[in-house]
Amino acid sequence: MNGERLVIGIDIGTSGARAVAMAEDGTVAATGAAKLSTHSDDHRDPVGWWKAMQAALAETLAAIDRQAVVALAIDGTSGTMLPVDRTGAPRAVPMMYNDPVADRAALDAVAAHAPRESAAHGATSGLAKLLAFQSLPGVFRVIHQADWLAGHFTGLYDVSDENNALKTGYDPVSRSWPDWMEKTGARIDLLPAVLPAGAPVATIGSAAAEAFGLSHEVVIVAGTTDGCASFLATGADQPGDGVSALGTTLTVKLISDRPLFAPEYGLYSHRIGDMWLAGGASNSGGVVLAAHFSPERIAALSEAIDPAVDTGLDYYPLPKPGERFPIADPDFAPRMSPRPADDATFLKAIFEGIAGVEHLAYQRLAALGGPVLSSLRSVGGGAKNAAWTEIRRRKLDVPFLPVLSEEAAAGTARLALSGARKAGAL
């Protein structure tokens, strides 16, 4: 193929679909988006997922040369699963990432046999959902959201990726569905084959190629979860690269050269290429700021903050007792006193406190066997506050690097680039 070649990354989130066309050098050539609510009244409706994805993809393709596309990958919400027949037709309403399984016997079976470091524990895990779906009539496979959508391009509804499979019990170290799963009563034969994220799956099927006006040589690439895709979108790709998400809560993720598992912190690792993506989530974050100040007030007070001088206050900001990471203690008490009379000083002390939690979080990852933080990228609303950023920069004392994108679809496009190169399409 002559001229510029492109890949497509597609993200299916909780409210809509987004697509990104990306060139070989990482430049975004076009984007498209569609709301799920436009195509279905029910966020659990797979037809609605597919229609929203079609709309986002169609908008993207309309802005580029369709024949320049050489690969495509899809990410989905982690833990969203559905049972399908051989043609890919759903056999029941899917269970979303946050839908719990109510069968106590199934949950007890997983708790009894899953290793403590497995991500398959809990009522919302993929393994619990397999146990809930496997006895339905006509079930050929129980698969993940991204698997099902990718199957529309290949005709294969029995292939997944290592990231989506993690919460279903997949062992990313041995790269297999482990033997202990059968002891839970799970039918392993109903689970998909698993490929590394970014591995070529198959060339596009004729029907999909013709429907979207794509070349019949387009490679469909194994995708990932929405969370992993968001991390990859930032451009972080080396051990020691960290990404902090400063949203309602504080989430930290780090690329490691070895897997990290610490269930007491809710910490497990996704395998991406030869690297591992480990992370944890604190209960601190923007939720604490919102309890005291409006966004407008935070913006105004931030103008009065001198980030170069410490307040001397030692806060551990939490909305209520209980912390997950970097301290695992359901009774851990917030520390937010004394409160200064000056609101700007109080806000500054909260900023310093959350920065302290962030610093401790990366120290914890290193103590658990990960690399020392060497660079940081920041996403989320809090990353836009200049005073807070300077406070964090002093506390963490590593280079703060620009984020290439906050679009999960851009991260999935990067996987598509990887798969296209492995398939010889680039």
Tens digits of per-residue pLDDT, 111-146? 999 999 999 999 999 999 999 999 999 999 999 999
**Average confidence score pLDDT of the chain:** 96
pLDDT at 108: 97
Domains contained in the chain, CATH given:
6-228+408-422 (3.30.420.40), 236-396 (3.30.420.40)
* Beta carbons within 8 Å of 62's beta carbon, 6+ residues apart: 32
DSSP code per residue over 349-371: HHHHHHHHHHHHHHHHHHHTTPP
Tens digits of per-residue pLDDT, 234-288? 999 999 999 999 999 999 999 999 999 998 998 999 999 899 999 999 999 999 9
Measured distance CA(116)–CA(96) in Å, rounded: 24
Torsions phi, psi for 384 (to 5 deg): -90, -5
Q: At what angle do helices 343-367 and 295-302 cross, to 10 degrees?
A: 90
Percent of the chain whose pLDDT exceeds 90: 95
pLDDT at 377: 98
Instruction: Tell me the average pLDDT across 363-381.
Output: 97
Tens digits of per-residue pLDDT, 160-216? 999 999 999 999 999 999 999 999 999 999 999 999 999 999 999 999 999 999 999
The number of C-alpha atoms within 13 Å of 83 and in the hemisphere containing its C-beta is 20
Type and span of the H or E element at 18: strand 16-23
3 state DSSP class of 225: strand
Question: In residues, how long is the chain?
Answer: 426
Burial class (CB in 10 A: 0-12, 13-18, 19+), 295: exposed
Contacts 24+ apart (CB under 8 A), 329-332: none
Q: Nearest-CA neighbor of 50 among 157, 168, 124?
A: 157
What is the value of pTM for the model shown? 0.92
- pLDDT at residue 294 greater than cutoff 60: yes
Burial class (CB in 10 A: 0-12, 13-18, 19+), 411: buried
pLDDT at 1: 44
